[in-house]
Amino acid sequence: MSKKEEEIHSEKSASQEVTNYTSTGYSNSRLSGNFFTTPQPELSFDAMTIVGNLNKANAKKLSDFMSIEPQIRLWDILQTKFKAKALNEKVYIEYDKVKADSWDRRNMRVEFNPNKLTHEEMLWLKQNIIDYMEDDGFTRLDLAFDFEDDLSDYYAMTDKAVKKTIFYGRNGKPETKYFGVRDSDRFIRIYNKKQERKDNADVEIMSKHLWRVEIELKRDMVDYWNDCFNDLHILKPNWTAPEKVKEQAMIYLLLNEEGTWGK
């Protein structure tokens, strides 16, 4: 993946585009004559699902290997199916030929979070499990970006019409924003990572702000993951751009009462 930084042109409207998620995940902006250095988060893959087919011979070989391999816990074992967890429960493996035939889909699935596996464990997984599979490919990818910026004041939008849901914190500011629905090919979640860690794990993060953008890709969208950010924009309103107070008020209304866009 290229680490080349991209230049983003300024918005002529009342919003300043501070982050445009491109295939790199990196960006700098030159806006209204001012230069802004935006965060440069590392792209991480938080979850992967690989599916493929086991032929009869490979299913027998893999089942025999898994039954004696100490790094694998195997259960629900029959001639046409098995389930297992490997590498200290960090990898889930499932094979079910009967269900796959009835649903006309591939018969084996491997799920894991690559961030939790060492390089050696990744090689072990490939050589001992995935290499047995034929016609293999991804059916789900979860990507994440972390930003040391307060995104509660930013306006997130996509070029496509998607359902948007916002949850507010005790201070009245947005803490979580969802774009799309959970079962759609692309589901976007933007949330206050610092507050989430504090609430759920009682962990205090030293950074003043920490927000995360998570993107879940499923089915056909997985093949286009490198371009899945192109229509996602996070904008910070620039209230001083319009000269007239009436126009400033209209901008505020449109951003906070989206039902008024139709008028």
Q: Classify burial at 258, counting beta carbons within 10 Å of its beta carbon; exposed 0-12, middle 13-18, buried 19 or more.
A: exposed
Query: Dihedral angle at the C-alpha atoms of 5, 25, 200, 180, nearest 10 degrees?
Result: 150
Residue 29: strand pairing partners: 8, 36
Please give the pLDDT value at position 42: 63
The CA radius of gyration of the chain, in Å to the nearest whole number, is: 23
Reported as a pLDDT band with limits 50, 70 and 90, residue 15 is very low
For residue range 64-81, what is the model confidence (pLDDT) as tens digits? 999 899 999 999 888 899
User: Which residues contact residue 151 at a Cβ distance below 8 angstroms, ignoring those fewer than 6 apart?
Assistant: 190, 192, 209, 211, 213, 234
Q: Classify burial at 132, counting beta carbons within 10 Å of its beta carbon; exposed 0-12, middle 13-18, buried 19 or more.
A: buried
Highest mean pLDDT among 22-31, 137-146, 246-255: 137-146
Residue position matching structure tokens 């789900």: 140
Round to whole Å and give the CA distance between 114 and 130.
14
- The mean pLDDT value for 130-143 works out to 90
**Whole-model pTM over 0.75:** no
Reported as a pLDDT band with limits 50, 70 and 90, residue 41 is low
DSSP string of 10-61, one letter each residue: PPSSSEEEEEE--SSS-EEEEETTEEE----PPPEEEEEEEEEE--HHHHHH
